[in-house]
Structure 1
């Protein structure tokens, strides 16, 4: 398989504080929450403030408000050549103008919202195929926050209730955007107690690696393999390859699950991970092949 020339930056998302907050306001907190760190890191991985960036708020229920928030955030970082690409249907995704804009961009950022909504609008589009091609063969950067991150892998978590216990049947998955074939991503990871649902997704789909991203935290993935933690929180690498004992495949749904030898590695700034080799390393010791 060809090593991708581009980079992926999945981000764990943000969440509003207080019971009065709505889902929409939670989404709109993301740009300001990341402004001083994550978005600046994204620009550094592209071509700096001179980059041409396309924001894609297709996952959001409030795309205009979301788009404006990101425009303001990037402008505050000195990036003026940033645009919002509004997509409300598969047909709209493949308009000639949208395809030209992707061809001209240095990077794209998928906002938060609902990953199923994003996948439904883009999965079979020429636009996503063009984005996949640019990631594979160009120095092209794809970021996604919250839903935009969860949609990146070949398999995405569609639904899944958080629970204090691991209960069989709480997770539903769907085909994702196939930018990261060997992993599955969950976001708002510790804030929304999502270890049980990510673990079930791995038990249902052997061979995948779980990446749990906390808020204001992301990873830069180079060559489709080398993962570097960024941001202010933690990244949980969940590996079910060596599970010795589990009742998962023998029990009825809605029954508690036991698991022996689930392996968890926690990354933060200064730590990296080789996805294919399942190896932890300090970032300053990580080797990137040119």
Structure 2
């Protein structure tokens, strides 16, 4: 996020401080599953790649990057949009200025599904991450599906349970110190994103997150559904629901290792609905 310097003078005393300038871009965060035709149309429209510029696919979440690029680009090729290309990076490689420039100047950046931990392991703290933010600041549409949705949060759900290492698609408990959180891309700093939400009944997971971190809004996005984030405004796009949880009372209670909270707010939004994030 860019910063501008402000000089504030009161009487004969002047102070210099920095004010963050909001990004010019938008986020298109997909909960996984299929992408309905209208959803792809909306990505094309919001990014403007049907008129000028180009889009790139970042497939580093996937264990098979070439396949991820193929399926991601095909949804645009089927619409006659051929100016979308894959751009893969490997952990530890020195990224060329040309590849970094391709990210920062892209009108659409699309992050594939797979494993959000794998994606962040490649890009965290690198010029790749900075280039994605630069594109967003300058007006690009940053999109992602499934794992590509989870990485949008500063506090990223990894999908792992700390107390129950055997994998389950949903949490069985609302339990203290069980949800694993790691740093994500940070496109959203006050929101935790969860995906495949209604389809995989991930309520316990997101409840655990917003009770454990009451200052964060939890947004659970179902499959074939997305949120379009423009500043503080959010629109639901697709065919299913978005569940928003807020621990507005900043309440966290415990009984042994079980989590509790009072005064929480839960809303279920449908396609076309809008809401605000702080």
User: Are 1:189 and 2:190 matched, yes or no?
Assistant: no
2-structure distance, mates of 1:95, 1:139? 23
Q: Which residue of 2 aligns with 1:110?
A: 111
| Aligned-residue CA RMSD (Å) | 1.7
Q: Which residue of 2 aligns with 1:36?
A: 37
- Specify the SS of the correspondent of 1:257: strand
Q: Which residue of 1 aligns with 2:9?
A: none
Shift of 1:88: 2.0
Equivalent residue in structure 2 for 1:226, among 211, 229, 233: 233
Structure with more strand by fraction: 2
Shift of 1:209: 0.6
Equivalent residue in structure 2 for 1:238, among 220, 236, 245: 245
Alignment of 1:246-265 (within 5 A): 246-248=252-254, 251-252=255-256, 255-265=257-267
Q: Which residue of 1 aligns with 2:154?
A: 154
Structure 1 unaligned spans of 5+: 15-32, 277-290
User: Are 1:210 and 2:229 matched, yes or no?
Assistant: no
Who wins on radius of gyration, i.e. which is larger? Answer: 2
Q: What is the TM-score with the length of structure 1 in the denominator?
A: 0.81
Where has structure 1 moved over 6 Å in runs of 4 or more? Answer: none
User: Are 1:123 and 2:124 matched, yes or no?
Assistant: yes
Q: Which residue of 2 aligns with 1:133?
A: 134
2-structure distance, mates of 1:169, 1:103? 37
Is 1:9–1:218's contact at 8 Å kept on the other side of the alignment? yes
- Specify the SS of the correspondent of 1:169: coil
User: Are 1:80 and 2:82 matched, yes or no?
Assistant: yes
Shift of 1:10: 0.8
2-structure distance, mates of 1:88, 1:157? 22
Equivalent residue in structure 2 for 1:4, among 23, 40, 44: 23
Shift of 1:190: 1.2
Shift of 1:170: 2.8
Structure 2 unaligned spans of 5+: 1-19, 162-167
Is 1:164–1:193's contact at 8 Å kept on the other side of the alignment? no
Q: Which residue of 2 aligns with 1:22?
A: none
2-structure distance, mates of 1:164, 1:111? 27
Shift of 1:164: 4.7
Q: How many residues align?
A: 250
